[in-house]
Amino acid sequence: DAGITQSPRHKVTETGTPVTLRCHQTENHRYMYWYRQDPGHGLRLIHYSYGVKDTDKGEVSDGYSVSRSKTEDFLLTLESATSSQTSVYFCAISDDERTSGYPIRKETQYFGPGTRLLVL
């Protein structure tokens, strides 16, 4: 299994409080992603990073910010948690791959174990 850990694994917080989730990898992969998983929606991308200090928004970025100050850590912050942000959050990593006859592509993602967040 890819070396990806998420902390905390479970968190209960109150509406209006800030929350930070951490994703840590030991694979030295370039790309990191934060997803949220909700019933009936599959996984939806919140933010992703394509290098240290390089991040971009995903499909559902409102209310979330991220930071990546070093290769191995990708932080997700809920500035002021709301009940709609109750979810399971997954971190994923990927890296450039070389396929004969094709340019470098980053493809296969490896996922962390998830963080269950409950906002009351």
Partner 1 sequence: AQSVTQLDSHVSVSEGTPVLLRCNYSSSYSPSLFWYVQHPNKGLQLLLKYTSAATLVKGINGFEAEFKKSETSFHLTKPSAHMSDAAEYFCVVSDGRGGSYIPTFGRGTSLIVHP
**Contacts with partner 1, residue ranges (CB under 8 A):** 4, 35, 40-45, 48, 58, 90, 92, 99, 102, 105-114
CB of 16 to partner 1, least distance (A): 28
Is residue 85 within 8 A of residue 77, CB to CB? The reply is no
- Interior CA angle at 17 toward 16 and 18, to 5°? 125
CB of 55 to partner 1, least distance (A): 13
Residue 109 per-residue DSSP state = -
42 or 70: CB nearest partner 1: 42
17 or 105: CB nearest partner 1: 105
Measured distance CA(31)–CA(17) in Å, rounded: 29
CB of 26 to partner 1, least distance (A): 15
Measured distance CA(14)–CA(64) in Å, rounded: 16
CB of 103 to partner 1, least distance (A): 9
Strand partners, 97: 105
53 or 101: CB nearest partner 1: 101
